[in-house]
Amino acid sequence: MKKNIFSFFLLTFMLISTFGLNAQNVNGVVSDNSGPLPGVNVIVKGTTRGAETDFNGKYTINDIKSNDVLIFSYVGYKTIEIAVNGRNTINVSLEEDSSTLEEVVVVGYGTKKKSLVTGAISSIDSKEIQSVSNQRVDQVLQGRASGVTVSASSGSPGAQTKIRIRGTGSSGNSSPLFIVDGMKVTTIDNIAPSDIANIEVLKDGASAAIYGTEGANGVVIVTTKKGRVGGPQFSFSSQLGMQYYFNKMELMNAEQFVTYLNEGGNATVVDNGINTDWIEETFDSAFMQRYDFSMSGATESTSYYFSVGHTDQDGIVGGDNSNFQRNSMRLNIKSDITEWLEAGANANAAFIKRRGIPENSDTRGVIQNMLIIDPLTPVTYEPGNVPASVTQRSADNGVPVLRDSNGNVYGYPTYSTGEVLNPVAFANDIQQNISSTSQFLSTLYLKAKIIEGLNFTTRYGVEQNLFLNKTTTNAYYVTSEASNTQYNLSEQKVRFSRWLWENFASYEKSFENHNFKLLAGFSAEQSRRPTFTTRRFSAPVDQFRGFNSNSSAFTFDPASPINRAFRDNLVSMYGRLSYDYDEKYLFEATVRSDKSDKFTDNNKSAVFPSFSAGWVVSKEDFWADDFLVNTLKVRASWGQNGNKNGLPVGTGITAITTEDNGATLSYLGNIGAQITTFGNPDLVWETSEQLGFGVDASAFENRLNVSADYYQKTTRDLIVGDGSLITPGSAGFPFAPFNAGTVVNKGFEIEIGYSDTTSGDFSYQINANLSTLDNEVTEIKFLPQGAGLIGAGAPQNDDGVTRFSEGFPAWYFYGFKTDGIDPATGQVIKVDTNEDGIINNADKTFIGSPHPDILFGGNIKLGYKSFDFNIQFQGTIGNEIFATYHQPSRQITNKPIQFFEGRWTGPGDTDARFPAPGTPVLDSYDTDLVVEDGSFMRIKQIQLGYTLPESFTNKLRMNRVRLYVSLDDFFTFTGYNGLDPEVGNFSFNDTGVDRGFYPTAARALFGFSVNF
């Protein structure tokens, strides 16, 4: 009996001891020489249980046995195993592992150690991306990489951005090539920022030469997230916010407007007691929200990552009529089928719907109308006070009056004439533009290890896009120029697909201190646009029952544009040799041959070579370990790339049609024909050649990192897609695209960063980048000496406001120089630049450049215990902005306040900065008086975050919970008097042209993220 009792107590003790072992919690901090490491994987060996370190490098794992072993792993660092041995706190310091640094930098068709990179590459990793509140991937690049300019075409939700790497190197499309997980894609706006693991920007010719024909404008490589070893990891993040317009732009008020017009000879303009602040009335606060969820994990042989995301953002103009919605889904899978064969798949689907207001127009834009409508017009009329002229003109033209959602009649311009509309009515109840996009991207690959060092990869990718655009316009009548006497509907459908099959082999071999890596590959690609149709319909007012093209009320317009389908084939072969001696002396050579259907038979193929070299000085024997500078590398590169962006298929074909606006051509009773485009059999590839020198260094125990570059980028045989620019009007048809000349971009780039952690749990990181840019057209063909290509237009300005001419920046501002205001007459004094004694259009010249002399950006990150703080900024210096929203033919329009405060007030006025009201001011809209300095600095983000204590999150079985508040784009410092100095562009030739730019909204955000 006693023996049984003893056995019972012994068994109970063992069970209690075992329970104690299982119930043990282990926590600690993981760091390196620079401070805490967030995102480190901590896994219990032999299981899938584990955790991930938070922003401060802290982790906690529950239910650990005293004899368990923890595995600590992080990309770029040596993986270590540590036995628990009954401890509750285990702090770990990880060592950098040069053998795994190759996973950090992604280059074309492979990866590379940072220390061996000989080109100019900027990297943005997940640690930088995880705190961003941007809705689009391309916006993540803003201010984070030297030499990279990111400008939105508009501040409206979901608007496209223009990315320029090392300046504008083309007269046409200068957008970079986008690569996502190895697949060439049309756009990256369908990717949720939370899905990104890292972004690399290949800036120099040598780095981008492996992509040949489309690498001339640089390459942006996006790598999405993969699963990490361990059990399923779930992540959810949410972001809610309000958007506002904050700026100092001021228009004339009612009193100033009346005074100004009266002084200009318009005595009929009188104060009617109304004083509408149209900027205040047009802009409104707007709600935005974003949700992202992901699940990831991995076993020893298979990893997976799955995510879904939803974004919904209203605009600060037009409310629901200016909106962006995106629903996205991603699945990444990788599996080791055998020891020698790896298979993987990456798939992404996105469904985007965007509503937009009319914009980017000198006469028909909502913002443009807001800037020029008179302040004596009310937003809506008081009930019973609608002027008889308003109802009468609607009745005379058989259309309803314009009303808001509450039935109130909108105010019609009291004095402004012509195309001017009430901007609130224009944004909400006149026209609606809706675009729906379905985008699918999938990539499958197999990677085989043939023998030691030799790998072969075959990869097949498919991109499919469907774009549906719909524009509806209600019936209204304000003036003969601002009217629509029927209901109009326009529908456009575009299908685009691309498949890309790539096969490449890589071989690595080392003997003694010599290290070689060879790459050879072949790729075939086909892009198709089988459908591109536009259908226009109209319906009389009395038959209108809604915007439905299938309704019998709508009549099809046979003159709707008909666009032919196209198919573009591209076949390529490429190779690369990388060599280093003891990781000290570096050399790389690349060559790519491309053959494209877009060129004629004689010019289909082109070859693009590159060379680069580097010297890691700090590897030399004379470099002591205790030097202040820890590492130093110098490098040089030269390379050529091609560009065929935006070029149509069949450039050598002379096209003939038997129709004109949908009707059959007839000549003396016979079917006729006419030339629509004259082919150019001599068109050759646009080629960009870059020469660059750089240095990379680290100091103070690698806490300080510096990278500096100088480059000269020469683009020859520029392709201009609009042949009508050089075709005589008498020809009756345009010429095909042609090679126009040469553009040179050159400048310096520097990126610098410093980070450290003090003994008091305080960490800080400071990063900054700066680049200079000198852009010049050095040669132009087919035009007389001194002539140039005409670019962007403006009202009543046939000469255009931008030009492409030899000796000047690409698409510089073109107009009259001024020499003050005539004190006697108040007229603008225009400079006689050709000194012929006559002021005419021949005196127009360079009056400004849209290209900045300096671009800069940076961020400051601070951390203290569970708090983190981040501030990011960016800006430009030296660029100008040309305001073209003024109406030369409409005298009774409002203007910015400086036109009033700086106006000429009478004979003898020598302090005037602007001409007298009336005719003199109308004569100033194509002069440098409307060109302003566009330099600015914008605080892109001020964010304060807090990570909840582990003692609290552990009870909820969560790994990490972070809350944050953020002020994005709230503060802008500039001398520009317009709505927003960050003026984007809708086309390649109108950068910096302000037609009434939809400004960037300031955002106040609250967000949180949960990992469990």
For residue 482, with 0-12 CB atoms within 10 Å meaning exposed, 13-18 middle and 19 or more buried, which class applies?
buried
What separation, in Å, do the N-terminal and C-terminal C-alpha atoms of the chain show?
50
Determine the Cα–Cα distance for residues 159 and 155; give it in Å rounded to an integer.
7
Determine the Cα–Cα distance for residues 32 and 214; give it in Å rounded to an integer.
40
Query: Which pLDDT belongs to residue 669?
Result: 73
The residue with tokens 């029952």 is 545
Determine the Cα–Cα distance for residues 471 and 110; give it in Å rounded to an integer.
44
Query: Which pLDDT belongs to residue 149?
Result: 83
Query: Which pLDDT belongs to residue 732?
Result: 66
Stretch 733-754: mean pLDDT: 87
What's the pLDDT band for 291 if we cut at 50, 70, 90? very high
Range of weakest confidence among 251-260, 632-641, 729-738, 945-954: 729-738
Phi and psi at 194, nearest 5°, equal -70, -15
Is pLDDT of 271 > 80? yes
Range of weakest confidence among 177-191, 379-393, 840-854, 996-1010: 177-191
Stretch 249-265: mean pLDDT: 96
Range of weakest confidence among 115-124, 686-695, 779-788: 779-788
Query: Which pLDDT belongs to residue 890?
Result: 83
Is pLDDT of 658 > 50? yes
**How far is residue 284 from each of residues 432, 949, 1005, measured CA to CA in Å?**
18, 39, 17
Question: What is the tens place of the pLDDT at every residue in 440-472?
Answer: 999 999 999 999 999 999 999 999 999 999 999
Query: Which pLDDT belongs to residue 7?
Result: 47
Query: Which pLDDT belongs to residue 6?
Result: 42
What's the pLDDT band for 986 if we cut at 50, 70, 90? low
Range of weakest confidence among 195-199, 240-244, 375-379, 724-728: 724-728
DSSP letter at 94? P
Range of weakest confidence among 49-63, 619-633, 738-752, 902-916: 49-63
Residue 298 DSSP SS3: strand
DSSP letter at 205? H
Whether the Cβ atoms of residue 162 and residue 175 lie closer than 8 Å to each other: yes
**Per-residue DSSP letters for 481-539?**
SSEESSEEEEEEEEEEEEEEEEEEEEEEEEETTEEEEEEEEEEEEEEEEEEEEEEEEEE
For residue 310, with 0-12 CB atoms within 10 Å meaning exposed, 13-18 middle and 19 or more buried, which class applies?
middle
Stretch 985-990: mean pLDDT: 75
Whether the Cβ atoms of residue 333 and residue 302 lie closer than 8 Å to each other: yes
What's the pLDDT band for 8 if we cut at 50, 70, 90? very low
Question: What is the tens place of the pLDDT at every residue in 854-880?
Answer: 999 999 999 998 899 999 999 999 999
Determine the Cα–Cα distance for residues 964 and 863; give it in Å rounded to an integer.
13
What's the pLDDT band for 560 if we cut at 50, 70, 90? low
Query: Which pLDDT belongs to residue 247?
Result: 78
Q: State which amino acid sits at residue 906.
A: G
1004 or 539: which carries more pLDDT confidence? 1004
Question: What is the tens place of the pLDDT at every residue in 956-980?
Answer: 778 889 999 999 999 999 999 999 9
User: Strands 936-947 and 867-877, how do they pair?
Assistant: antiparallel
Is pLDDT of 556 > 70? no
Question: What is the tens place of the pLDDT at every residue in 326-355?
Answer: 999 999 999 999 999 999 999 999 999 999
Determine the Cα–Cα distance for residues 722 and 760; give it in Å rounded to an integer.
63
Which stretches within 130-247 are classed as H helix? 137-140, 205-208
C-alpha triplet 798, 800, 805: angle, nearest 5°: 130
Query: Which pLDDT belongs to residue 957?
Result: 79
Give this prediction's pTM. 0.85
User: Which residues are 508's β-sheet partners?
Assistant: 517
Is pLDDT of 382 > 90? yes
Is pLDDT of 687 > 50? yes
Question: What is the tens place of the pLDDT at every residue in 769-822?
Answer: 999 999 999 988 877 777 788 888 887 777 889 998 899 998 899 999 999 999
Class at the top of the CATH hierarchy for domain 236-647+683-1011: mainly beta
The rounded mean pLDDT for the chain is 87
Stretch 751-763: mean pLDDT: 87
Stretch 150-154: mean pLDDT: 81
Write out the residue limits of the CATH 2.60.40.10 domain(s) in the chain: 21-93
Output the six-digit token pair for 549.
């093209």
Phi and psi at 728, nearest 5°, equal -60, 140
Stretch 613-640: mean pLDDT: 92
Q: State which amino acid sits at residue 767.
A: N
Which stretch of DSSP H or E encloses residue 788? Answer: strand 788-790
Range of weakest confidence among 96-105, 137-146, 575-584, 947-956: 96-105
Is pLDDT of 151 > 90? no
Whether the Cβ atoms of residue 126 and residue 197 lie closer than 8 Å to each other: yes
Determine the Cα–Cα distance for residues 111 and 830; give it in Å rounded to an integer.
58
Is pLDDT of 376 > 80? yes
Range of weakest confidence among 29-43, 357-371, 534-548, 658-672: 658-672
Residue 927 DSSP SS3: strand
Is pLDDT of 729 > 70? no
Residue 258 DSSP SS3: helix
Q: State which amino acid sits at residue 360.
A: N
Residues in contact with 784: Cβ distance below 8 Å, sequence separation at least 6, in sequence order: none
Is pLDDT of 612 > 60? yes
Phi and psi at 254, nearest 5°, equal -60, -45
Range of weakest confidence among 106-115, 262-271, 305-314: 106-115
Query: Which pLDDT belongs to residue 227?
Result: 86
Using a pLDDT cut of 90, give the percent of the chain over it.
54
Determine the Cα–Cα distance for residues 432 and 426; give it in Å rounded to an integer.
9
Which stretch of DSSP H or E encloses residue 12? Answer: helix 2-22
Determine the Cα–Cα distance for residues 500 and 66; give it in Å rounded to an integer.
53
Is pLDDT of 910 > 80? yes
Query: Which pLDDT belongs to residue 558?
Result: 64
Q: In b/e form, how buried is each residue of 760-781, taking b as 16+ CB within 10 angstroms? A: eeebbbebbbbbbbebbbeebe
Query: Which pLDDT belongs to residue 39?
Result: 77
Is pLDDT of 719 > 90? no
The residue with tokens 């390196």 is 32
Is pLDDT of 221 > 50? yes
User: Which residues are 57's β-sheet partners?
Assistant: none
What's the pLDDT band for 1 if we cut at 50, 70, 90? very low
Determine the Cα–Cα distance for residues 887 and 374; give it in Å rounded to an integer.
13
For residue 795, with 0-12 CB atoms within 10 Å meaning exposed, 13-18 middle and 19 or more buried, which class applies?
buried
Determine the Cα–Cα distance for residues 126 and 196; give it in Å rounded to an integer.
7
Fold of 21-93: Immunoglobulin-like (2.60.40)
Question: What is the tens place of the pLDDT at every residue in 85-107?
Answer: 888 899 998 887 654 444 457 88
Range of weakest confidence among 83-87, 121-125, 729-733: 729-733
Tallying the residues shown for the chain, one arrives at: 1012
Is pLDDT of 418 > 60? yes
Long-range contacts of 405-413 (CB under 8 A, 24+ apart): 405/429, 408/380, 408/381, 408/383, 409/380, 409/381, 410/379, 410/380, 410/381, 411/276, 411/377, 411/378, 411/379, 411/380, 411/381, 412/377, 412/387, 412/478, 413/373, 413/374, 413/377, 413/478
Whether the Cβ atoms of residue 279 and residue 370 lie closer than 8 Å to each other: yes
Determine the Cα–Cα distance for residues 550 and 420; give it in Å rounded to an integer.
33
Write out the residue limits of the CATH 2.40.170.20 domain(s) in the chain: 236-647+683-1011
464 or 363: which carries more pLDDT confidence? 464
Determine the Cα–Cα distance for residues 720 and 789; give it in Å rounded to an integer.
10
Instruction: Report the C-alpha dihedral over residues 536, 539, 540, 542, rounded to 10 degrees.
Output: -170
